[in-house]
Every structure is written in structure tokens, then in C-alpha cells.
Amino acid sequence: MTARAGEPSGVRVAAIDWAMLETALAIGAEVVAAAELRLYRQMVVEPVPSPEIADLGLRGSLNYEALLRAAPDLILSAPWYVKYEANLNRIAPVRSFRIDQRGRSPYEPAVAAARELGRLTGREEAAEDLVLAVAAEIDAQRERVALRRGEAFSIINIGDPRHFRVFGADSMHGHVLDRLGLRNAWAGQTRYSAQAPVDLVALASAGDAGIIIVRPIPFDALRVLPESPLWNALPAVEQGRVHVIDPVNPFGGLPTARRLARLLGNALA
């Protein structure tokens, strides 16, 4: 029987992967442990994890004792963490979800992952509600930015004053931008991370496209970029078309798509 909204499913879940953590929280699954919760609260932000969830520490050096104490029935992982699966399987069954794939939008894999997680935790109805709610949020934000339809933007993270990561079409950022009726100015190649490392010269190749910066912004960049002739020569900077939005999971699932659509709508409407 499917658990109703607000009711615990009875399946105790631990999450190594943040995309699946945010999805589990969004469908109301009983999350008992997760990796790097302090950083999650800074970089992913929502859904907000309960303070009762055990923090398993760094994803690269998990606290297996804390995971054992949490006694999960199911561990949510991703292909990035395959080398840990043998140890994890000794504690509970592991289900690995691949959302990000080079050359492909992650949105439909995120939908499939949400539905599969709903099935595994007895929260099919909540998972379907999430799928519909995210699509509705994107549609609503598309209407908010209708006057900008067809405008081009580069969505970037800042690594340091000289180096940036620009999100391509095969990222959730690129997908949401497209769904909002906007155009991704970056048409170049990305790496497995759906981002391309670029310098200021490459960023300038986007011409007069607007720039959307996803926080956090390193202190050095805040200090140096305002004085940089190259940065200030970018058309978007000269014309005041640089927008800064709060942090968004760069490898997120459906909750990331919803958050990003809302933040972009707030910035561009």
C-alpha cells in the first residue's frame, strides 16, 4: 500500500548522492542518514533536511559506523560512488541512480529516478505529485519571463578570478533555461560534469549574451573581478546584464530543477 503524504513509508533510507537525497526528502521518504549534510545545506539548500538525520561525513570517506547505527533499509547512490558499493552493500541494499549523462539532458532521468524511488519506498503518489509540481513550477516561471523569450544567457560558477565553469545543454541548468524559453549561450563541449571549464576569453565568445552567476562566489573573485579590464569589457557587464542567484545543486534532481526555475524567474522577471 502506498504511504499517503506526510506519513512515514517504513523504509529507512540513507543517501550518499545529493540528487537522490533531495528527491527522497521531496517525496517524504524516511531519510535517516546522508553524506556531507553541512555542505548540502549551503550548496543545495532545499529541501531542508531534518536535524535528526545522521551526517555520514565526506562522500569520499564515509563514516560507516554512523551508517550502521542509522540502520537503513536502502542506500541511495550514484555511479560516481561505485567503488564504495561493496562496503555499503554489507550494511543495506544499494540502489544507484544515474541522472547526469554527457550529451543528454538530466531531466527525464531525474523524473524516472523520482518515480523509481517512490516505488522503492512506497511513496509512488508523492513521487508523481513531485513530477507534476516541478513541471508546473517551470511552466509558471516560463510565463513570468515571457518578455525575455529567446534571449541568450551564460550560466556560470566562478572558480577564481580567471576561471569559470559554464553549464551546457546536458546540465539541469541548461535544460531549465531552455524550458523557460531562454537560450543557452554556451554551445561548446562539456565534460562528464555537464560543465565546461573556461577562461574570460572563452566566456567573451558568447558575445552580448547575459550572464547568470550561481553562488557561491569566491572572495578573490569578488575582490579582483570588479577591477579586471577583461571582465568589465564583457558586453553583459558593461550593460548591467549580470544576474546573481543563490546556490543550486550542479548535479541535482527534480527539486533542483524546481529551485532553479524559481530563482531564474525571480532574477529575470
For 205-221, what is each residue's pLDDT tens digit? 888 999 999 999 999 99
- The whole-number average pLDDT for the span 134-150 is 98
Reading the block at residue 14, the C-alpha cell is 540513507
Rounded Cα gap, residues 71 and 66, in angstroms: 9
pLDDT tops 50 at residue 129? yes
Give the pLDDT confidence of 17-32 residue by residue, as tens digits.
999 999 999 999 999 9
Mean pLDDT of 136-148: 98
Query: Which is more confident, 164 or 95?
Result: 95
Q: Does residue 9 register a pLDDT over 70?
A: no
For residue 166, what is its C-alpha cell? Answer: 559554464
Residue 193: per-residue pLDDT: 52
Examine the pLDDT at 194 and tell me if it is beyond 60: no
* CATH numbers and ranges of domains, the chain: 12-136 (3.40.50.1980), 139-268 (3.40.50.1980)
